[in-house]
C-alpha cells in the first residue's frame, strides 16, 4: 500500500546522507538551505569522516541516528546509492529523495541499480523521489532537498517537473525576477516510484497551492494520469509543457530521464481529455502561472481593451481574435464616459485609444475613467489595459486599478506596459504587488487571458 507523500513536504526530521564540510559542495549547500529556510525539524548530517557539520552533530551511518527519520536525502554517487537506500529502509525511513544521476538514463548497469532501489522501496514500503533530480522545495514546510540556494518566498504556485531545473534554475529566476511566490516544487527525475499522478494527487488538496504547472518528458501510467488530472483540473488549473515533440527532443529526453516520448498527437489528446492546458514554451510555465496567481479566470470571452496608441489597439484586436477572444460591444453608458473624458470630435470604441484622453485630462484621470468604466460594463468579461510609462506620463496614483479589481473579482484585468524600461519595471513591481499581472506586449497579455478563458471552459464556467 502506498504511503502518503505529506512527509516529503512537512517532515519532522531529515537525514542528509553525503553531507559535506566543504562550502559549495552539494552536501554542504543542502544543509545550508535547510538552515537558511528556518526548517523547524531536526537535521541529521551523515558523513563517516565528520563529527560536526555547520554546527550540527554528524553521524557515520543513518543507522547510528538515535531518533526516527522522516526523510532520507541521498547525495552520494550513483554506485553507493543502493547501499544507502537499504540502510535507510532498515532504519525505518519511509520517504527518500535521491539526487544522483547515472541510472536508467545512462545504461543497463544504471537501469539495474535503479531497479534494485525500486525493489527495496517496495519491500519496505518506502516512497522514493528520483533518482536524477534536485527533488523537493516546500516553502510552507520550510524544507528543501536542492543543492541550489533557496530563499523563503511563500506563494501559491506549484511546479511538478521531470527535471531538477525547477528546484534550481527556474526557482532562482522566480525568486529574483518575478513578484509571485512558490508553494511546492516537485522534481521527479527518473520517476522510479513517485510520478506525475502521485504529485498531482498531493497538490489536489494542498491548501497552499492555487495553480499547478508541469514539465513532462514522458508518462509512466498515462491512464492513471488522465484519471487524476481530470479530477484535479476541476479544482485547480494545470498547465503543462510536454517536451520531446521532435525526433531530436525525443532522443534528448531518453538520455535525460530515460523517458520514451509517446506519439505527440496521442499525448495531446490525453492532456485535453484530462483538462490540462498544454503550453508551447518553457517560460509559459512562469508567465501564465503568474496570471492565475494574481487573478481569477473570466466567465466569458468578451474583452474590453485600453491601449496607449492606435497601432497597439489594432495589434490587440488581432491578438484577441486569433486566440478566441472577442472584443466586447461596449454599452452606450461606457462609450459616453469615454467621450466626456476625450477631446471633442474624438471617436471612441473598443479598443479604447486612451492617448487623446491622457492629453485632455491627464494620465491618472484618463485611466481611472477607462478602467472603472470597463469594470462596470456588463458586456465586458475581462480587461486588457495597455500602458506606456515614460517621463511625464507615469501613473502617480495606481490604487484605483486594484480597488476596481477587488470590487469585481470575477472580471480579470491583465496589463501590459512599454516605453521607459526603468519606469516599466518600477510600475510592474507596484502593480503586481496589488495582484495586477503585467506583461510587455499586447500579445503576451492576450495569450495569458486566453489561457485563463480556456480554464473557465474546462471548469464549465464559460461557454
What does the H/E/C string look like for 415-437?
A: EEEEECHHHHHHHHHHHHHCCCC
Domain boundaries defined on the chain: 1-131, 153-294, 296-458
* Mean pLDDT within 60-75: 97
Q: Which pLDDT score, from 0 to 100, does residue 95 have?
A: 98
Contact 383, 304 (CB under 8 A): yes
The percentage of residues in the chain with a pLDDT greater than 90, rounded to a whole number, is: 82
Q: Which pLDDT score, from 0 to 100, does residue 261 have?
A: 53
Residue-wise pLDDT for 91-149, tens only, equals: 999 999 999 888 888 888 989 999 999 999 999 999 999 999 999 999 999 999 999 88
Q: Which three cell numbers stand for residue 47?
A: 558523513
Domain 153-294 has CATH 3.40.50.261: yes
- Is residue 252 over pLDDT 80? no
- Range name among 8-17, 94-103, 157-166, 238-247 with the lowest pLDDT average: 238-247
Residue 383 CA to residue 418 CA, distance in Å, equals 17
Q: Which pLDDT score, from 0 to 100, does residue 245 have?
A: 60
Same CATH fold assignment for domains 153-294 and 296-458 = yes
Q: Which three cell numbers stand for residue 371?
A: 478602467
* Mean pLDDT within 14-28: 97
CA dihedral 47, 43, 87, 66 (to 10 degrees): 100
Buried-state track 231-260, b at ≥16 Cβ within 10 A, e below 16: ebbeebbbbbbbbbeeeebbebbbebbbbe
2 confidence band (pLDDT: 50, 70, 90): low
Buried-state track 136-158, b at ≥16 Cβ within 10 A, e below 16: bbbbbbbbbbbbbebeebebbbb
392 confidence band (pLDDT: 50, 70, 90): confident
Angle at 173 between CA 149 and CA 189, to 5 degrees: 70
Residue with cell 462596470: 376
- Is residue 249 over pLDDT 70? no
Angle at 41 between CA 149 and CA 178, to 5 degrees: 30
Q: Which three cell numbers stand for residue 72?
A: 532520507
Instruction: Compute the residue count for the chain.
Output: 463
pTM (two decimals): 0.93
Query: φ and ψ at 8, to 5 degrees?
Result: -65, -30
Mutual angle of helices 363-376 and 399-407, in 10-degree steps:
10
Q: Which pLDDT score, from 0 to 100, does residue 102 have?
A: 85
Angle at 322 between CA 405 and CA 370, to 5 degrees: 30
Q: Which residue has the higher pLDDT, 221 or 200?
A: 200
* Mean pLDDT within 412-439: 96
Q: Which three cell numbers stand for residue 230?
A: 481530470
CA dihedral 148, 149, 155, 156 (to 10 degrees): 10
Q: Which pLDDT score, from 0 to 100, does residue 272 have?
A: 92
Which class is domain 1-131?
Answer: alpha beta
Residue-wise pLDDT for 257-303, tens only, equals: 444 455 778 888 889 999 999 999 999 999 999 999 999 999 999 99
Count of CB atoms situated within 10 Å of the CB of 262 = 16
* Mean pLDDT within 22-27: 95
Residue-wise pLDDT for 190-220, tens only, equals: 999 999 999 999 999 999 999 999 999 888 8
Contact 243, 214 (CB under 8 A): no
- Is residue 320 over pLDDT 70? yes
Q: Which pLDDT score, from 0 to 100, does residue 3 have?
A: 61
The percentage of residues in the chain with a pLDDT greater than 70, rounded to a whole number, is: 95
Q: Which pLDDT score, from 0 to 100, does residue 251 have?
A: 55
- The CATH code belonging to domain 296-458 is 3.40.50.261
- Range name among 35-39, 115-119, 259-263, 323-327 with the lowest pLDDT average: 259-263
User: Partners of 415 in the beta sheet?
Assistant: 385, 438
* Mean pLDDT within 343-353: 93
Q: Which pLDDT score, from 0 to 100, does residue 220 have?
A: 83
Residue with cell 516599466: 424
The long-range contacts involving 106-109, CB below 8 angstroms and separated by at least 24 positions, are: none
Q: Which three cell numbers stand for residue 336?
A: 459616453
Q: Which pLDDT score, from 0 to 100, does residue 393 have?
A: 84
Residue-wise pLDDT for 402-423, tens only, equals: 999 999 999 999 999 999 999 9
Amino acid at each position: 500500500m502506498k504511503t502518503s507523500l505529506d512527509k516529503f513536504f512537512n517532515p519532522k526530521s531529515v537525514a542528509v546522507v553525503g553531507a559535506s564540510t566543504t562550502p559549495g559542495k552539494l552536501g554542504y549547500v543542502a544543509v545550508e538551505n535547510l538552515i537558511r529556510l528556518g526548517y523547524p525539524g531536526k537535521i541529521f548530517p551523515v558523513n563517516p569522516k565528520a563529527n560536526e557539520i555547520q554546527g550540527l552533530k554528524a553521524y557515520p551511518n543513518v543507522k547510528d541516528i538515535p531518533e526516527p527519520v522522516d526523510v532520507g536525502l541521498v547525495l552520494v554517487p550513483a554506485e553507493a546509492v543502493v547501499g544507502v537506500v537499504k540502510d535507510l529502509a532498515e532504519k525505518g525511513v519511509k520517504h527518500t529523495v535521491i539526487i544522483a544521476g547515472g541510472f536508467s538514463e545512462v545504461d543497463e548497469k544504471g537501469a539495474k541499480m535503479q531497479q534494485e532501489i525500486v525493489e527495496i522501496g517496495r519491500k519496505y514500503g518506502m516512497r522514493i523521489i528520483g533518482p536524477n533530480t534536485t527533488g523537493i522545495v516546500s516553502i510552507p514546510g520550510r524544507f528543501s532537498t536542492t543543492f541550489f540556494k533557496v530563499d523563503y518566498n511563500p506563494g501559491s504556485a506549484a511546479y511538478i517537473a521531470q527535471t531538477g531545473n525547477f528546484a534550481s534554475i527556474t526557482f532562482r529566476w522566480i525568486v529574483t525576477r518575478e513578484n509571485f511566490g512558490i508553494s511546492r516544487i516537485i522534481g521527479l527525475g527518473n520517476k522510479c516510484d513517485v510520478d506525475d499522478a502521485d504529485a498531482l494527487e498531493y497538490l489536489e488538496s494542498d491548501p497552499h497551492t492555487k495553480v499547478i504547472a508541469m514539465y513532462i518528458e514522458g508518462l509512466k501510467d498515462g491512464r492513471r494520469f488522465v484519471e487524476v488530472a481530470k479530477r484535479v483540473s476541476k479544482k485547480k488549473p494545470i498547465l503543462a509543457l510536454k517536451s520531446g515533440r521532435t525526433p531530436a527532443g525525443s532522443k534528448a529526453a531518453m538520455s535525460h530521464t530515460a523517458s520514451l516520448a509517446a506519439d505527440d498527437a496521442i499525448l495531446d489528446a490525453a492532456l485535453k481529455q484530462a483538462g490540462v492546458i498544454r503550453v508551447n514554451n518553457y517560460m509559459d510555465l512562469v508567465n501564465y502561472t503568474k496570471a492565475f496567481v494574481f487573478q481569477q479566470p473570466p466567465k466569458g470571452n468578451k474583452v474590453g481593451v485600453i491601449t496607449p496608441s492606435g497601432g497597439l489597439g489594432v495589434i490587440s484586436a488581432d491578438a484577441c481574435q486569433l486566440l478566441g477572444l472577442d472584443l466586447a460591444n461596449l454599452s452606450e453608458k461606457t462609450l459616453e464616459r469615454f467621450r466626456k473624458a476625450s477631446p471633442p470630435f474624438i471617436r471612441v470604441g473598443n479598443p479604447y485609444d486612451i492617448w487623446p484622453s491622457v492629453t485632455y485630462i491627464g494620465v491618472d484621470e484618463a485611466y481611472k475613467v477607462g478602467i472603472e468604466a470597463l469594470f462596470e460594463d456588463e458586456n465586458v468579461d475581462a480587461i486588457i489595459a495597455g500602458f506606456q510609462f515614460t517621463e511625464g506620463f507615469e501613473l502617480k496614483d495606481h490604487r484605483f486599478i486594484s480597488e476596481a479589481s477587488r470590487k469585481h473579482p470575477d472580471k480579470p484585468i491583465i496589463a501590459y506596459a512599454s516605453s521607459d524600461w526603468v519606469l516599466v519595471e518600477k510600475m510592474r513591481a507596484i502593480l503586481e504587488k496589488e495582484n495586477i499581472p503585467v506583461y510587455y506586449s499586447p500579445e503576451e497579455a492576450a495569450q495569458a487571458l486566453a489561457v485563463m478563458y480556456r480554464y473557465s471552459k474546462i471548469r464549465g464556467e464559460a461557454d
